[in-house]
Structure 1
Amino acid sequence: MAQSDFRLGIVGVGRMGANMARRLQELHYPVVSVYDADAPRAQALAQELGCAAAPTLVGLVEPANTVLTVVSNDEAMRRIYAPGSADSLLRQATGRLFINCATLSPALQREVHTLVEQQGGQCLEACMASSITQARQGTLYLMCGGRPDVFERARPLLNALSAHLRYIGPAGEAAEVKALVNMVMNANTAALAEGLGLGSALGLDLTMLREVFSQTGANSRVLETDGEDMQHRAHECYFSAAHAAKDSGIACALAEQVGLDLPLATATYEQYRRLVAIGKGEMDKSAVAELTFKERATESRTGE
């Protein structure tokens, strides 16, 4: 499809979805409608972009031929694609392309693909291994799953959103790869938090320690993005602890399905679940350091 052929509807305009919408409009892709369960959020973005804030999912789809969904979890995805609901994306699926960008369980991605195709539409998963800044700049890392011809149909749009675009395979496989990406990233984040937490308890200079980490086998992408934030307790949210817990949980469930014991992934999952339980789920994933710095961990236990 050429750029002018797309008429875009976007479901879920939180941090990621809203910045994807801004990026696409900036490149003159016609964003015709937006929808969010938080209606005022959708209305504010619609006013900014000069498009419609649809009060219903059916209303969002009607003027669009391509729908991007950026929802938070499996439960939200099931709601927007509910087969028996009077307000479901499936009601207007015929002839339309649906691109699902959230990190979801692979089984649900496959289920949604089947439901959309049964209604005469096309479906693609485009899992994002990036954060808010990349969404706004159009430099996402996108991993796609579905039919190859559908991927080619969506390619111009996906190129506008990404710096790295990769076709993984059939429906569900991109979701599997994304779960593993986030499983490893979250484990790296938790390990870094423990290293800096122990360094702090030993009285080491953490700026020096981060520099040494960066020059040795302790180096990682997470050190670059989260190390300074952990040191200075700057946990402005780019990827929330709640999402980290969800995604590590998806990976652990996949491991259980194939009979693998993953103790590091399981321990990481439990750390993020604990962070959510003490009310820090909306902080950035770097806030896992609040559990590993001695004085902060005491504060967290006091607040439990």
Structure 2
Amino acid sequence: MTPSSSFHIGFVGVGRMGANMARRLKDRRFSLTAVYDIDQAKTNSLARELGCESVSSPGRVAERADTVLTVVTDDAAMRQLFNPAAPESLLAHAKDRLFINCATLSPSVHVEVERLVEQRGGRSLEACMASSITQAREGRLYLMCGGGRDTFERAKPLLEVLSERLRYIGPAGEAAKVKALVNMVMNCNTAALAEGLGLGAALGLDLTMLREVFAQTGAHSRVLETDGEDMQQRAHDCYFSAAHAAKDSGIAVSLAETVDLELPLAKATYEQYRRLVALGKGELDKSAVAELTFKDRLSSN
């Protein structure tokens, strides 16, 4: 039996990341049985493309698949999917199912979901993604996993097709902690870069030259490579939204509060992204934080 033939896969949440993960698995000859999204038009379109069933409830996905990948936006959406009181939730058909949950959520939610699923005879694994839309399509995700080690091993043949780097972190919730810190640091770096370029512009410096100097000195970062030119050119097509940046920085700040630790940089970054969302720019890429730091752009905010 090939690895692909041992999974019958459904997706809940087929936005940019979920849809491209599904396409990747289809390319590698995995069996996709059903897809669901709150956007029914999006669900129907992807189902036609992949040759699988478009369904109208999460529960139907779990009924049709033995492995369900969830790619949703936040804690509230995840709790709704695994709501014990909802007859059409994923828990309606949790027995003998494997749920692989890919969203960036509060660690406690992953622990809660694992408990609910295991009570009903299923398995749950968090597979937190630190990657982009393009990497999802090409099977080059960086995946950090949390849950039972045996559950991780069960999911591994599928996750290896989706990922370039796959790492088991520990029990449920642990990978979510690591992912929160990854995004917290990334968001701080993004906000800092926006301030550096914004100040450079206000001082009359050539920003292309400045980015080159940053890249050759201690100011270099991965964010400089991915976001620097976009900040300069005001090209904020969304790869990772400002709204998600706000949510993820908020998770990290909340975690710090649980251990009575002060994180002034993370808090300041969180407030910047909250401000961006409040201005109606939450669906722009996180690089749009530069709109708050360039002097000639502030009047439009």
Matching residue of 2:155: 154
What is the rounded CA distance, in whole Å, between the counterparts of 2:30 and 2:48 in structure 1? 17
1:297 Cα offset (Å): 1.4
Answer with 54-63 or 73-82: which moved more: 54-63
How far apart, CA to CA, are the structure 1 residues paired with 2:261 and 2:125?
29
Matches within 5 A, 1:15-54: 15-54=16-55
Gaps of 5+ in 1: none
| C-alpha contact 2:4 2:28 (8 A) present in aligned 1 | no
2:118 paired residue number: 117
> Which residue number in structure 2 is paired with residue 236 of structure 1?
237
Counterpart mapping for 1:98-113 below 5 A = 98-113=99-114
> Which structure 2 residues correspond to residues 71-86 of structure 1 after superposition, within 5 A?
71-86=72-87
1:142 aligns to what SS in structure 2?
strand
CA distance in 2, matches of 1:159, 1:57: 25
- Give 1:96's aligned residue: 97
Deviations 1:63-117 (A, max 9, x none): 2000000000001001110011111100100001000000000000100000000
Identity %: 70
Give CA-to-partner distance per residue, 1:149-197, whole Å, 9 cap, x none.
1000000000000000000000000000000000000000000000000
Aligned equivalent of 1:258: 259
Q: What secondary structure is seen at the aligned counterpart in 1 of 2:165?
A: strand
Partner in structure 2 of residue 295 of structure 1: 296
Does 2:181 align with 1:180? yes
After superposition, what is the alpha-carbon deviation per residue over 1:114-165, rounded to whole angstroms, capped at 9, x for unaligned?
A: 0000000001000000110110111000000000010000000000000000
Provide the rounded CA distance (Å) in 1 between the counterparts of 2:279 and 2:150: 46
Amino acid at match of 1:119: R
What RMSD in Å do the two structures reach over aligned CA positions?
0.7
- In 1, distance between residues paired with 2:14 and 2:148? 26
Structure 2 length-normalised TM: 0.99
Secondary structure, counterpart of 1:280 in structure 2: coil
- Return the alpha-carbon distance in structure 2 between the equivalents of residues 211 and 205 of structure 1: 10
**2:182, 2:33 → 1: CA distance?**
33
What letter is aligned with 2:61? L
* 3-state SS of 1:125 partner: strand
1:165 paired residue number: 166
- Give distance in 2, aligned partners of 1:285 and 1:103: 16
Q: Tell me the distance in 1 between the aligned counterparts of 2:88 and 2:115.
A: 19
Offset, 1:2: 2.5
TM-score, length-scaled by structure 1: 0.98
* Separation in structure 1 between the aligned mates of residue 234 and residue 174 of structure 2, nearest angstrom: 36
The amino acid of 1:163's aligned partner reads: E
Question: Which residue in 2 is equivalent to 1:65?
Answer: 66
Distance 1:168 1:223 in 2: 28
Deviation track 1:32-58 (CA, whole Å, cap 9, x = no partner) reads 100001111100100111110111112
Q: Find runs of 4+ consecutive structure 1 residues off by over 3 angstroms.
A: none
1:142 corresponds in structure 2 to: 143
Q: CA deviation at 1:3?
A: 1.7
| Alignment deviations for residues 1-51 of structure 1 (CA, whole Å, 9 cap, x no partner) | 822010000000001000000000000011110000111110010011111
Return the alpha-carbon distance in structure 1 between the equivalents of residues 116 and 60 of structure 2: 19
